[in-house]
Structures are given as structure tokens and as C-alpha cells.
Structure 1
Amino acid sequence: MSQHKTMSEPIKVMIVDDSAVVRQVVRQALEREPGIRVIGAASDPLFALTHMQRDWPDVIVLDIEMPRMDGLTFLKKIMSERATPVVICSSRAETGTAAAMNALAAGAVSIITKPKMGVKQFLEDSANDVIHAVRAASRANVSRLASRARPPLAPSPKLSADAVISSGLGRGASMISTTERIVAIGTSTGGTQALETVLPRLPATCPGMVIVQHMPERFTAMFAERLNSLCQIEVREARHGDRVMPGRALIAPGGKHMLLARNGAQYTVEIIDGPLVNRHRPSVDVLFRSCAKFAGRNALGMIMTGMGDDGARGLKEMHEAGARTIAEDESTCVVFGMPKEAIALGGVSEVVSLHRIAPIIEHYGY
């Protein structure tokens, strides 16, 4: 599998898209990059499969809408028969992200949204994004994505927030005296599937959560809605001023930074613009730093599967502020990048596998 390739071996890529323009532009962008070799470009999945039987790729760049077999069907076939990293490159997200979210749920590593008009110019301008996505995908442990690419168990009936909100906090309590706890989670590649494993297992009495999942604009709202339909807790895309409270998970909106703030004894979130931090907006480091500043020892910080090092420094700041800090173990990560960097910086209290994360969150603060 691709994660066992040596550094000297090129990443073999198959492009599957019914647009000749897309195939040409993506191929040219990838072939200019050292260490990447395009082994084929097909107009539909059936043509691609014929070629792939002779020379199997390390990464597939795949459209969703195509003749004879749609991309989602092809993705599910690949993940069930021979799990391979897939980068979705689709215009479907321009009008609605349900298809793209279904692709992530089925095991796609990442999404590149292309417009319906001006595709050639867009892809030429976004060549670095395509290259970065392919390189990240080549390092993904897709056997873990494939094993999670199934519908979660039906959730228990959802409880209203009134059933779980604690009324024990007095107004105007100082940060030192408040007992309200929060959980901050940062994740990237493989995180959508990891969060779908963790959040549906949480009861409506769990601590309030703030979550950064690296994801483009328009995707986070759909992702939050999907999680909300699977969970006992309330999950939604965060809005400026939202309260962080038991039984609620707030997902940072794509294209915005999310910060934890204090309003008396209560925690809220601020949603702001700003520059990319560690190439990301939202950034895990931005969220974690705000948690270190305003929650300190009242926070639990978790860094999960993802490419790069976003969140590593912020988690160390949380650790130094007295927070309990946890990294996902390599054995269950799709990409052991962000957790590895956080561990290396010395900001991690515990390293745990994915299946232990939900119980830790549930019992945090008891």
C-alpha cells in the first residue's frame, strides 16, 4: 500500500474525469512535480479499471459525475475491493455538498471543489492545492478509512439541551472558580470518519466541545448536519457568540477561525476572519491557543489524525496551562502527522487509540 512506499519511489496517480480539459490540466500540474508520476487518465471508471488492473495507482483523482459509472459508486467499489487513497475533484460542491460528504463518508481522503465555469483557469491557479492533496493522500492509511466506511449504528433518541444544561454556575464567577469543563478537538485528513466514530457514541450529558476539522467552506455546515443526525448530542456549525455547553459540539466553519472566549462563568466562541495559520483557516493552533488562554486546566485538548503539524504548538500551550492533553495513537490514525508532531513537542499527556476517545470525553470532569 502507498504508506509503505520508499521516498525514492514516485507516487503513481490515476486521473478519472469525463472532462478532457480537467484530465489535461491536472495531468500537466502533477507531471511537473518531482516524485509524482501520472500513470493514466480515463474518461470514466470502467476505462480506469481496465488500466488499473495492469498498473495499480497509489492515488486516484476522481470526479463524481461521469458516464457509465458515477464516481461515488466507483469509490465504494475501490474501498471495498482494494482500498486506495482517493482525492475527489468535483464541481458538485458548488450547488450542494451532499455528494461530496457522501464521498468522504465512503472513504475519500480529501475534496477539491472545482467551479462549473472557468475550470481550466481554476485548476491552473490551484495546482499547488492539487499537488498537496495528492501528496497527503499518498501517506494516508486508507485501510482505516475503508474499515470505517459504513453507516454508524442508529442513535438513541436526541435529548433537548434543557435536559442536560447545568444550572450550578453563578453569574460573574471568575475563571479560577468556574467548574465548567470544555473539550477541544483538532483533526484533518481522516478526521471526518474519526469524528463519525467518536461523536455518535457520546451521551447528551458530555462536556461541551469545540472542534476544528480542516475542511473547505460550504462543507462544514453539511458535515455538522450529518453528525447531528447521527448523534445524541447537538452538533452544528459554530456561529459567533454560540455558547459552549454540555451536550453540544460546535464545528468551526470552513474559511473562518474559531476561538474560545469567556463570558462570565460561561464559555462562548468567536468566529473571525484572519490569515491562514499553518496553511489553514480554521486552524487548530488558533483554537487551542484560545483554550489555553481562557480555559486553562478546565480544558481537555485532543489532537487526532491529520497531515502536517497544525495544533501541535497549541496543544503544548494547553498542556502548559494545566489542561489534560491527548493524541490519537498511530495504530488508528489515517495519517499520523499532527499527533506525531504534538508528541514530539512534548505537549501530550496521553496517547490513546480511537476507540478510547469517546469514553474519555464522556467521563472528563467527573
Structure 2
Amino acid sequence: MKKIRVVVVDDSALVRSLLAEIINRQRDMECVGVANDPLVAREIIRELNPDVITLDVEMPRMDGLDFLGRLMRLRPMPVLMISTLTERGAEVTMKALELGAIDFVAKPRIGLADGIKELADQIVEKIRVAASAQVKRAVPQPAAARMATSPEGAGAAATTPPPKLLGRVSTEKLICIGSSTGGTEAVKEILMRMPADAPGILVTQHMPPGFTTSFAARLNGLCQITVKEAVDRERILPGHAYIAPGGRHLRIDRSGANYVAVVEDGEPVNRHKPSVDVLFHSCAQVVGPNAFGIMLTGMGNDGAKAMREMKDAGSYNYVQNEATCVVFGMPREAIAHGAADEVLPLLEIAPALLSRLRSGGGDRYRV
């Protein structure tokens, strides 16, 4: 069996040692090198050509984001970020995913050694996913676009015209989106194409507590619609997207004539919390034919079964195609369950959905 070859880049000797030990315990992977800063890492990567890199963000001599940006332009490869569970760490992690990192692991600020050991299963699983992911060379952005997508430029004028209004959007329509690995950028591509009067949107993106607040804030600065973390029992409004808080499930309920968001604790579903299955199942039960489902890139099968329930209840569903997915796990399972009405490249999903809304309000049986 060919082993996954991993290089660990971290300025902490303790973290380097712990990660190398965790990796080398696995039968299907090995740590072939470690580096305490990006400049050393550059030479090791050039020499060893690893399959995956684990990369810390805050390091001496060169910031981890600067290194990641250069790496993805010049020598793109799967990168798993090792992030700090802080507000600043969450903001930087969102930028790292935008630059092309496959995924991230949030390391604790205290009890580092025990915390890393507790994360061992998650770390090796994400390394395996990263090793099989589709990595694309990063394309340098124009200065204006960089400003608009940076934390400092959030809310800056968009570099493209705003999406055309629907004109007669129904408050009865809802859009539900599920995504995992690679999904932060995929969700961004969908939401940025939504006009200000789009139907209410609910998003379950697999993400731990502490990171969805930054994720929502970043999207809110880029989109015509309002993007926020979902709050329990708030009314779901047109022109708004609601992100499932990390570590909480999000589902839909009714309160009189209105749809409301329900944010709740509970056991993981399909090993995830939030779970796409929870959101999609509630959508099938509560929204039925007034719903649109979108399944984006991600590992595993979360949401596939419930997306079929949505279709059986009358929703119209879009699934991202393999060529544009970072990981084609969740979309593949949705297709296998017969849940997809259309399988499209990422950039064609929002236009197709909006065209359907404009032509007939989303009725799947309309000719």
C-alpha cells in the first residue's frame, strides 16, 4: 500500500513532535519531514514532494498565509491548516480556505498536548481527505478584488454588477444548502450570485464552534443579501442567508404563516454537528415543494438520504458536479440516492436556480 507522505510545518517543537507521532502511527501514512518555518519548509517540499502538508498560520520569518498563497500559485498541493481556536484564528482560517487550503483543524489554546492527542482521529481523517482532494492552481486576484474579499475590505464596492433582482420573489420559497470539505468557497460562489430579493437561504457547512461567526461575517461583506449566523426561533426572511452555528444543528419550523430557524443541541448525525441531514429532513417535512436543495462539495454521505426526502416531497435539487468539487463524496451520494434533478458545475448552479425562479417560481412540474 502506497503511504500518504506528509510534511508538518509548525513553529512549535511540541506540535511537530505530536503530529509526527500521530501520523506515523497510521498504517497508510508517514511523516517524511518537519519544518519550523516556511523557508525551511520550502526546501523540504522541493526535495521530498509530499502528498499533504500540515501548516500552522502564525510562524517566524514568513506568515503562514503568505507561504500558502505562494505555494498555491507556484506548486499547488493539498494543505491542511492547523488553526488556533480564537476569533483572530477563525478570520485567518477563512482566508486560508479562500487561498486554497483543503481544510483545517482547530487546536486548543490551553492543554495543547492533550488537545492535539484528542484530535488525532480528526487530523488523520482530514489528511486522508486532503490527499484525495482536487487541488487547483490559485489565480492571482486583481487589486480591487483582493480589497473586496479581504477582512479590511469587507463591504467594499463589488467589482462586478450586483445580481439582477427577481422582481416577484415569493416569501414561501426557501433554498437549503449543504456542504463540507471545500464548501466555504463553494457556498461563497452561490451566495454572491444571489440578488437582494432572493428567497430565504439556510446553509449547513460542516464547521466547528468558533468559526461560523467569522464565516458568516466574511460572506456578509461580499454579498448583496444579508448573511448571518442563525439564531434560534428567528423568522426566515427573503434576502437573508442563515449559517448553521458550529456545534449546533439547524432545522426549519413554522410559526403561523412564517418559516423560522431552529438552532438546537443534540447528538451528532452522520458524525456531524451541524448535520446536513437534519436541515434537509426538516425542509422535506416543513417546506416540501416550495424548496430548492443544493448539495455542494464534501466528504461522506451527510445529507444524501434527506435530500432524496426533499425531492420526494416536491423540492427541486441541484448537485455540484465532480469536476468542480474539491471532494466528490456528498454530491456522489446524493446522486446515488436519486436526489438530484440537475448535476451542474458550481458556477452554473445559481444562474440555473434563479432562471427557474423567474420562469415559474420553482414548480418542478411546470413545463
TM-score by length of 2: 0.89
Select the residue among 248, 251, 256 that pairs with 2:248: 256
CA distance in 1, matches of 2:85, 2:237: 35
Distance in 2, matches of 1:42 and 1:157, equals 44
Match of 2:260 among 268, 279, 284: 268
Report how far residue 93 of structure 1 moved. 3.0
Distance between the aligned counterparts of 1:226 and 1:199, measured in 2? 12
Aligned to 2:200: 208
Give distance in 2, aligned partners of 1:287 and 1:164: 28
Pick from 212, 219, 222 the counterpart of residue 227 of structure 1: 219
Partner of 2:155: none
Aligned-pair CA distance for 1:216: 1.1
Determine if contact 1:148/1:193 at 8 Å carries over to the other structure. Answer: no
Alignment pair present for 1:44 and 2:37: yes
CA-atom RMSD in angstroms: 2.3
Q: How many residue pairs were aligned? A: 345
Cα deviation for residue 9 of structure 1 reads 1.9
Partner residue of 1:290 out of 279, 282, 288: 282
1:87 to 80, 105, 113: 80
Q: Does 1:310 align with 2:302?
A: yes
Matched residue, 1:199: 191
In structure 2, runs of 5+ residues without a counterpart are 150-157, 362-367
Q: Deviations over 1:297-347 (max 9, x none)?
A: 110111010011111011011011111112101111111110001111112
Q: Which residue of 2 aligns with 1:360?
A: 352
| 1:364–1:182 Cα change, 3 Å | farther
Decide which moves more: 12-21 or 110-119.
110-119
1:1-366 correspondence runs (5 A): 8-91=1-84, 93=86, 96-143=89-136, 146-147=138-139, 151=146, 153-154=158-159, 180-365=172-357, 366=361
Mapped to 2, the partners of 1:10 and 1:261 lie a distance apart of 47
Inter-partner Cα distance in structure 1 for 2:33 and 2:107:
21
Code of the aligned partner of 1:348: A
Give, in whole Å, the separation in 2 of the partners of 1:331 and 1:157: 27
- Identity value in percent: 45
Does the CA contact (< 8 Å) of 1:225 and 1:235 recur in 2? yes
* Alpha-carbon separation, structure 1, partners of 2:35 and 2:132: 23
Q: Is the contact between residue 92 and residue 100 of structure 1 (CA under 8 Å) also seen in structure 2?
A: no
Question: Residues of 1 paired with 2:287 and 2:28: CA distance?
Answer: 44
Shift of residue 142, structure 1, vs aligned partner: 1.4
CA deviation vs aligned residue, 1:78-120 (integer Å, no higher than 9, x gap): 1111111111112263655211121111111112111222111
Give the drift of 1:264: 2.1
> Structure 1: which amino acid aligns with 2:92?
A
Contact 2:87 2:214 in 1 (8 A): no
Q: Is the 8 A contact 2:162 2:195 kept in 1?
A: no
- Look up the equivalent residue of 2:29 and give its one-letter code: I
- When residues 104 and 10 of structure 1 are mapped into structure 2, their CA distance, relative to the original with a 3 A threshold, is same
Task: Name which of structure 1's ranges 221-230 and 134-143 shifts more when overlaid on structure 2.
Answer: 134-143
Contact kept? 1:93, 1:99, Cα under 8 Å: no
Whether the 8 Å contact between 1:94 and 1:116 is mirrored in structure 2 is no
Read off the aligned partner of 1:221 and give its amino acid letter: T
- Give yes or no for contact 2:85–2:210 (8 Å, CA) kept in 1: no
